Structure 1
Amino acid sequence: MSRFFIEVAYQGTHYSGFQIQQNANSIQQEVEKALKIFFRKKIVLTGASRTDAGVHALQNYFHFDFENLYTELETSKVLSTAEHGSAGTDGDLSEVAIASVYNLNAILPPDIVIKKISPVKETAHCRFDAIEREYKYFIYQKKDPFLRDRGFYYPYKFDLEKLQEAAGIVLMNKDFSAFSKRNTQVKNFICSIFKSEWKIENEILIYHVVANRFLRGMVRGLVGTMLRVGTSKISLQQFAKIIEKKDAASADFSVPAHALFLTRINYPAEIIT
């Protein structure tokens, strides 16, 4: 049995989230559907980062297990198609994975793309082996119809210096209970923050945060509350107190999902075979 990582990117606008759900369309559901059509058997995926409804990803991962994948594709003549040449006859799983990407993308809807399929060690886990996850939140202040699905329109004056100071407070903390969605089954609210900063690029205000893990709704809650600092609705001391109280009721301002992007997940190099 061989294990594979699938690297995906998607626009989350029309999906109820990353993880498969009953009576709702998800990224996982669409990818599993494509795999079933292509491989002619049901494949169950495990996801790396469970983005919420409407959140986008430039990079996210699944993993799955498959026995005799090379034989399966050779039988279906996928490996000799003109679009991607011949993958050879030595059972190279990397070549098999490359051969699969083109065909799977032809099946998937246009707002989901498989970027890469990589053979990994049998013990590799796309969720638990991730060492860094990176998110960016995009805010624009001049009305722009081309950004409406990918940015948060926020036409209010803000103090960038205060936003940076608030981001620094995030960097100094580890327990983010206050920014976890309520009614969650998660019992561990500790996150190691490696980067937390605000910047302006091409008139777009961006919050950039990197951590080993994130809680559900955490980034949107942080952004929403920091914007209150940046517009002088609460002080830096009040923001620090919200984190310290560890009470989700204190952090009641969250920004929309459609401006949030999961931009990168980092893994140890040694898990790739």
Structure 2
Amino acid sequence: MSHTLVDAGVNLTNHQFDEQHHDVITRASEAGVTSILIIGCDITSSQQSLELAIKHLQYSTAGVHPHDAKSATSELEAQLTALANNEQVIAIGECGLDYNRDFSPRDVQRNVFRRQLALAEKLDLPVYLHERDASDDMLSILKEFNVRGVLHCFTGNSAALKQYLDLGLYIGITGWVCDERRGSELQKLVPSIPLNRLLIETDAPFLIPRTVSPKPKSRKNEPSLLPYICKTVAQLYQMDEEVIAHRTTQNFNCIFDLESC
């Protein structure tokens, strides 16, 4: 591969990757994926993500996923601030709202989301956002704060996409786009995302691209499969893969303040 890629979202602390971190990152590098963002979903996984980022020279986030909002305590801000003091931590999150599964009560989700947005604003860090079936509340709450960030794993509709873009957010596209069945609507929307707001991510070990062939025996997604997402996205934009690789890498460095823009 003549171009390099950045995976803007990997759940490397997931149990499916236990004892495999070095091999996963090595395979990613061999596939041209030079950097990965390791996602934190609660305080424990955020700490583990940071440790992996330090060990493997990568980046991480620190935050509480809406599924885990019910576990947040009064110490949340102090815990996240301590993690964010490390240079490898480049965003607050994964945070947001999930009304699809409601693993945490919705009022608790909204409260914990607001607390993390306020902290990101205070620390001047981007936010790493999750939203499922909650775009109205998500947009309303985001407008209360002056934050920048990424809408991770976007699978919404055109109206939501337009409003997220109007807020200045970057949009993360996963292997969902490689599924000609459930990803058909997303495929139609992707070309309407400005190239300077586009990110690509695996969300590994989840959402393995349907275009991967042969499928790994484990059926597990990993960063080395990011080129399949890049290829599909490039086809949708009717551009060379190298252009998508370059722009998404540039965008990653820009939104996470890794270089001046």
TM range (shorter): under 0.3
Greater strand content? 1
TM-score in terms of structure 2 length: 0.24
Scaled by the length of structure 1, the TM-score of the pair is: 0.24
Which has more helix, going by share of residues?
A: 2
In our comparison, the structure showing a higher alpha carbon Rg is: 1
Which structure has the higher relative contact order (CA within 8 Å, separation 6+)? Answer: 1
